Structure 1
């Protein structure tokens, strides 16, 4: 597909040229096309180039394209050229590109200069109104590859955090248990439904080969993003919990809150008591390249009050760090609505720094519930990113969670808020107060004695 698109970019009607009498869009060839097939090695770049040469060398291309001249290392026409480039080449800053193919950008990293090559190509395309396409396998989180950065950019656009123009096509199979062959076959059949040449039996054999690591099987055959070795929750585990259900007005819920100020994110999450449906109420993060940004605390306060107005909130656990004054106010305003208290000293305030054992046990309980499919989630992208960013952090009580490294831009506050909401739900259920009938209202008389 990338080779075909590069041929079209070289000589096809790719520039918008108005509408015809029937109202259909009309295109014209670019007056001076310059197409590059980019990779981090010559062999890799030639993968696409060889297909391009085969397409242009057969059929009617020579009759249709003026001055078509095919060479092993470039293609020329009367108007422009197409060429492979690699990261090992000198800087290409300032070239007037009209289109580029970035091949296998999951391999493009800082170490092999792929990140610099991608940035140069995009700058050149930006100056001419050009466009690029990335053709990639799934990336490995934490390698900071070009593909990983592009996926993060796409997530921010989809979440409404950034405004941008990017088409993402990433089909994947969600298979909760690779050991379940029926489930695996169904996932592969759905994923490769438009590729009848794929031998599903062969792929199943490859997945079950003892030399195939499960994360590689998911990455290369199921199109799933590989997980870090110390990830708390795997992508397929979280995605298997997704549902189209949403919280309804009046639902009995618990709330979890993890607040930041500027660099750390702030997250407010609701969990329905009867089925553990998690839904994001709000996640506030510093926008990219925004200096001096601080979370709008009034907006967060409004969302908390909206939650109490919309749903039947029976418990609310909020980490006290940096938000003590607001938590004190929420405690005073909503204590009468709550069935359980977060701590002996506060209806809502929960200090995660000083309650390591309870937080660790709660973390293990929620992570196990996700893996067992006992939690539901609405597919909200920012929460998903925070969940998948969480790393296993063993301590003397068990397995807690944390960021991949201190100061990392990969936030986990959404998982922390989800954990607090689940711990609040656990306390409500264990309290037994949900099963108690409401006390009967008594009528009586008041006597006055003089």
Structure 2
């Protein structure tokens, strides 16, 4: 029925949560609810597609198959997949071998430092400096000395095997860190070089999909990861903010990508050492 100035419509929503999209029984039931009396719908075929197709974002399924409100389909990371990588059973400890990713700013974006344990790809935040947007402090800038202290603490606390830093605004600092900690440990990684960055982003995303990486549940890291959206370039997909002036920061996501890439390069270079239990023969 249509009245002038109004549209009245009926929309059935499938009762399903993002983290239930790998549960066959729940997917089938929610599809049946969403399609209602549309008996021509191939529920079995749709169920198989949702369970096995890993190329389509879950948000697309939620919006178009279940009539549900979902995250933007151009979002980089699926919330359910990221949360599935959470691990609280094996905390990061002093002395662990780690790789580090650094993305720095001065006042606009955030500055971050993320570690990644070599033996299992577990991510954790070593530091974040984010503009509080305080109207009483419009001239806020990153505390450079605090960042320097955090980098020093990382090298002192853990066995840092590879450090990737994005140079803009911090090239002098990176050069000094390379002199202090070794130029075979600290390297520049220009995130504005699309070919290399596209490859790193893709490796990170693929690892998260199959849970080949972990994280400790840090709220800031999760927020930045889920803020990131994709931008297509000729080389593939990059991550970016949802708009140039967006207040939704993604700097820790960039740090995490660099840390995970640094881990891969450290392992490829043979820097992963595993302590083995001593076996006593009789």
**TM-score, scaled to structure 2:** 0.75
Tell me by how many angstroms 1:218 deviates: 11
Tell me by how many angstroms 1:174 deviates: 6.3
User: Alignment partner for residue 76 of structure 2, among 227, 232, 245?
Assistant: 232
SS at match of 1:352: coil
User: What pairs up with 1:317-332 in 2 under 5 angstroms?
Assistant: 317-332=164-179
User: What pairs up with 1:406-425 in 2 under 5 angstroms?
Assistant: 406-425=244-263
- Whether 1:313 and 2:160 are equivalent positions in the alignment is yes
User: Alignment partner for residue 206 of structure 1, among 24, 30, 33?
Assistant: 33
Other-structure match for 2:189: 350
Other-structure match for 1:359: 197
Tell me by how many angstroms 1:395 deviates: 1.4
- Whether 1:288 and 2:127 are equivalent positions in the alignment is no
Q: Which runs of 5+ in 2 are unaligned?
A: 1-15, 47-59, 275-282
SS at match of 1:254: strand
SS at match of 1:253: strand
Higher RCO (CA 8 Å, separation ≥ 6 residues): 2
* Cα separation, partners in 2 of 1:250 and 1:207, compared to 1, 3 Å: farther
Other-structure match for 1:192: none
Other-structure match for 1:270: 115
* Cα separation, partners in 2 of 1:375 and 1:206, compared to 1, 3 Å: farther
* Cα separation, partners in 2 of 1:401 and 1:324, compared to 1, 3 Å: same
Count of residues paired in the alignment: 237
* Cα separation, partners in 2 of 1:384 and 1:217, compared to 1, 3 Å: farther
SS at match of 2:178: helix
CA contact (8 A) 2:122 2:214 kept: yes
Larger gyration radius, structure 1 or structure 2: 1
SS at match of 2:231: strand
User: What is the rounded CA distance, in whole Å, between the counterparts of 1:269 and 1:219 in structure 2?
Assistant: 37
- Whether 1:380 and 2:218 are equivalent positions in the alignment is yes
Tell me by how many angstroms 1:426 deviates: 1.2
Tell me by how many angstroms 1:291 deviates: 0.9
* Cα separation, partners in 2 of 1:425 and 1:300, compared to 1, 3 Å: same
CA contact (8 A) 2:104 2:169 kept: yes
* Cα separation, partners in 2 of 1:206 and 1:429, compared to 1, 3 Å: farther
RMSD after superposition = 2.9
User: What is the rounded CA distance, in whole Å, between the counterparts of 2:34 and 2:116 in structure 1?
Assistant: 36
Tell me by how many angstroms 1:349 deviates: 1.9
Tell me by how many angstroms 1:208 deviates: 8.0
Other-structure match for 2:21: 178
User: What is the rounded CA distance, in whole Å, between the counterparts of 2:190 and 2:80 in structure 1?
Assistant: 31
User: What is the rounded CA distance, in whole Å, between the counterparts of 1:249 and 1:307 in structure 2?
Assistant: 9
SS at match of 1:401: strand
Tell me by how many angstroms 1:432 deviates: 3.2
CA contact (8 A) 1:254 1:422 kept: yes
User: What is the rounded CA distance, in whole Å, between the counterparts of 2:73 and 2:187 in structure 1?
Assistant: 35
* Cα separation, partners in 2 of 1:207 and 1:307, compared to 1, 3 Å: farther
Tell me by how many angstroms 1:207 deviates: 6.3
User: What is the rounded CA distance, in whole Å, between the counterparts of 2:258 and 2:223 in structure 1?
Assistant: 18
Other-structure match for 1:396: 234
Tell me by how many angstroms 1:294 deviates: 0.4
Q: Which runs of 5+ in 1 are unaligned?
A: 1-171, 186-200, 339-346, 437-450
CA contact (8 A) 1:246 1:279 kept: no
User: What is the rounded CA distance, in whole Å, between the counterparts of 1:233 and 1:365 in structure 2?
Assistant: 13
Other-structure match for 1:427: 265
